[in-house]
Structure 1
Amino acid sequence: MKAAVLHQYNESLSGDSFVRYGDVPDPKIESPTDVIVRIGGAGVCRTDLHVVEGLWRGKVDVELPYIMGHENAGWIEAVGSAVSGMKVGDPVICHPLVTSGHCLACRRGDDMHADGSRFPGINADGGYAEYLRTNQRSLIKLPSTLAPKDVAPYTDAGLTAYRAAKKASRHLLPGEYAVVIGAGGLGHIGIQVLAALCAAEIIVVDRADAALQLAKSCGAHHLVKADEQALERVLELTEGKGAQAVIDFVGEGEAISRGLAMTRNAGTYYVVGYGGRIELPSIDMITSEKSIVGNLVGTYAELVELMALADRGRVHLATREYALKDANQALLDLHHGRIQGRAVLVP
């Protein structure tokens, strides 16, 4: 099969080629519960750039060369002997983690923390290819309204945004405020989820005018340019007290300190983006009673819920398609901020 393969790390993200497009062996059924998926779309994520940078070297055990791509959807191509209820040709979306279902975390539905899990595209070969090996437990059948290439990025970008927005929505009441920092590939989904699940006033902060306009179309009530006056404007909108919930889809640079400052006393700062550091005196935590909550992808059940919202037209994913052979161009466009929404590779 054809695949775009990572052969070496590039810590500075320099040059114009990160992966090599060429022939690699087809994945094979290795376990009775395995499923081979013919890829219809593979999302291009900022995490992929972090993988290229080598940021994940100390977090996962993976040897180069390998195939990135952890946001995948397509059609079933082959099934193991123990697979039931699914057949060749079924359109499916892949939960990003491949788990056994037997450990305690699995039984509690806490897929992200399962023992011995496999994460295609992170610690195993992923979907920047024509075919992907996963298992039945990770697959969700798609309704006829949703095409694989249109929903592939929901499996990480959408699911992560959904998980954070769902957590926030459970504590947001009408008349309260939610701030979303970053209206890009994740943020524009998070805005729609907040609008679908709660009645809070949604304030969106981003440095790009195009992203702010996208946020407006997604249901944002207030738009704030991410400049030196951003904190002041958010405080003006929130009666000088800050928001009950701040969801930070950037997680680096000044976004962290500003996000915490935008969080009201006894409010919650949800960090989704990463790459920076959270530094806060313990006395400030005590006197403000703010909560800081991390968010890692989402559960299988939450992906089912997100697909239900997509099926009903309550969330829409802005995508830009690239041919698989043009994976380097997609990565470069993402790196240089030329993509509105999400990039998707289509074999």
Structure 2
Amino acid sequence: MKAARLYEYDPAMNVQLKIETVKAPTIMGPTDVIVKVGAAGLCRTDLHIIEGVWKDIMDQGGNLLPYIMGHENAGWVEDVGSGVTSVKPGDTVICHPHRTCGICLSCRYGDDMHCEHSLFPGLGLDGGFAEYFLTSERSLIKLNPNITPLDVAPMADAGITAYRAAKKAAKALRPGAYCVIVGVGGLGHIALQCLHEISGCRIIAVDREPAARQLCKDLGADFVLDGGPNIIEEIKQITGGGAQVVMDFVGELGVENLCWKMVRPGGELIMIGYGGKIEVPTAHLVINEINIGGSLVGNYTELVELMELNADGKVKMHYAEYSLDNINQALDDFKHRRFAGRGVIVP
């Protein structure tokens, strides 16, 4: 099969994935499923993988490279193990990014992302930047017949990450409260739509890219700001002292140390983007009683819920499509934010 493989890490991201022919995966166990990839989303984590940010984790069992990236996958069931009963060849599916065991305490609680024995196709073992990839029955959700893999693939990670964060935010957002979304790219534009559906809050979207700001306006943000040098003052003026919730989808490049300053006393900062380092005076945390916490990828049931919102036309993924042969152009365009929304690779 054709696949795009990473051969070396490079903090400057000057390396390119190699398009080559490799052996297709095969069924190894009774719950294994081979998926014919219909679409695979590009994620900022893919950029961090290439940069070597995940190297120590990925290479714990020895040098992983070369390997196939891609952890936001949707497609059609190609083959199944002897114990698989919930899907059959030909079914259209989206894949939760984790392959989980189902028996550890985290799985029993429904916290799939914290499974003690999870495997992560695309991050630590071969993923979906290829014609086929191997996953497990527990990871699959059958799609509505009217939904195509191209329309939803990035929701396998970006979508449920944004949805989970929006659910956390909604708990603190009464009607009329303010939520700031900083960085309205592939995840942020999903969070914006989710908040419209599950919260009566007022949404302030912040992004430096004109295309992203236009998308925010199209999606109904109450205020759209360009993130200029006076952004903290602008937020405080609109909100009357700060937002009840700020969602940071950037998490680096200095943005992480602006966001906590936008939170009103008693409010909350939810970190979704990563890569930087937050430095907050402890007195500020105590006196203003603000909370700062992270939010990881959503669990299996949250992906089910998001697919229902998508099927009803309430949350849609905006994307730019690239062929597998053009994946390096897609990565470069993503790095330099030449498209709004998400990039999607189609083998």
3-state SS in 2 of match to 1:278: coil
CA contact (8 A) 2:211 2:339 kept: no
SS at match of 2:56: coil
1:79 aligns with 80
Q: RMSD in angstroms over aligned alpha carbons?
A: 0.9
SS at match of 2:55: coil
Instruction: Report if aligned partners of 2:33, 2:134 keep a CA contact under 8 Å in 1.
Output: yes
Q: Which runs of 5+ in 1 are unaligned?
A: none
Q: Deviations over 1:87-142 (max 9, x none)?
A: 10000000000011011101111111111110000011000000010000000000
Alignment of structure 1 residues 85-100 onto 2, 5 Å: 85-100=86-101
2:161 corresponds to which residue? 160
The residue type paired with residue 279 of structure 2 is E
Q: Which runs of 5+ in 2 are unaligned?
A: none
CA contact (8 A) 2:112 2:300 kept: yes
1:73, distance to aligned residue in structure 2 (A): 0.2
| In 1, Cα distance between equivalents of 2:213 and 2:328 | 27
Deviation at 1:232, TM superposition (A): 1.1
**Which of 41, 44, 50 is the equivalent residue of 1:43?**
41
- TM (norm. structure 1) is 0.97
Pairing 1:95-114 to 2, within 5 Å after superposition? 95-114=96-115
Question: Which secondary structure state, in structure 2, belongs to the residue aligned with residue 58 of structure 1?
Answer: helix
- CA distance, structure 1, for counterparts of residue 170 and residue 140 of structure 2: 27
Amino acid at match of 2:107: C
Work out whether 1:124 is the aligned partner of 2:130.
no
* Structure 1 position 256, deviation (Å): 1.4
> d(CA) in 1 for partners of 2:51 and 2:108?
35
- Return the offset for 1:170: 1.7
The answer to whether the Cα contact below 8 Å between 1:10 and 1:18 also exists between their aligned partners in 2 is: no
| 1:66 correspondence with 2:67 | yes
The runs of at least 4 aligned residues of structure 1 exceeding 3 Å deviation read none
8 Å CA contact 1:181–1:250 kept in 2: the answer is yes
Query: What is the SS of the residue equivalent to 1:52?
Result: helix
Query: CA deviation digits over 1:287-320, x for unaligned, max 9?
Result: 1111111011110000001001001111111111
- Give the total of aligned pairs: 344
Is 1:227 the counterpart of 2:225? The answer is no
Distance 2:45 2:20 in 1: 22
Find the counterpart in structure 2 of residue 194 from structure 1: 195
Q: What residue in structure 1 maps to residue 179 of structure 2?
A: 178
2:89 & 2:12 partners in 1: Cα distance?
42
Query: Following TM superposition, by how much is the alpha carbon of 1:59 offset from its aligned partner in structure 2, in angstroms?
Result: 2.6
State TM-score, norm by structure 2: 0.97
Post-superposition CA distance 1:47-75 (Å, at most 9, x none): 10110010001233361000000000000
CA contact (8 A) 1:179 1:246 kept: yes
